[in-house]
Amino acid sequence: MDLSPEQCRAARGLLDWTQEMLASRAGVSRSTVRDFECHRHVLHRATESLLVRTLEEAGIMLLQPGEHGPGVRIR
């Protein structure tokens, strides 16, 4: 799955997590999360996998692009 910056921000919003909280739980730097969400750089596949797994383990469902684009929901 390709995680978009918008999905990442929306998922954090649903969880009420800061960038620092997501970064800490995923084992990446805050600047990685910040720069990704601000479209400053794309993620390496391994880093993206860490973020996706962390969000999914917290109860987030990342929705694939469909009629209305990619989305996020909480279980």
**Confidence label for 69 from pLDDT (cuts 50, 70 and 90):** confident
pLDDT of residue 3: 95
Residues 2-57: pLDDT tens digits? 899 999 999 999 999 999 999 999 999 999 999 999 999 999 999 999 999 999 99
Query: How would DSSP label each residue in the chain?
Result: -PPPHHHHHHHHHHHT--HHHHHHHHTS-HHHHHHHHTTS-PPPHHHHHHHHHHHHHTTEEEEPP-TT--EEEE-
Please give the Cα distance from 3 to 18 (Å, whole number). 17
* Architecture of the domain whose range is 5-74: Orthogonal Bundle (1.10)
pLDDT of residue 51: 98
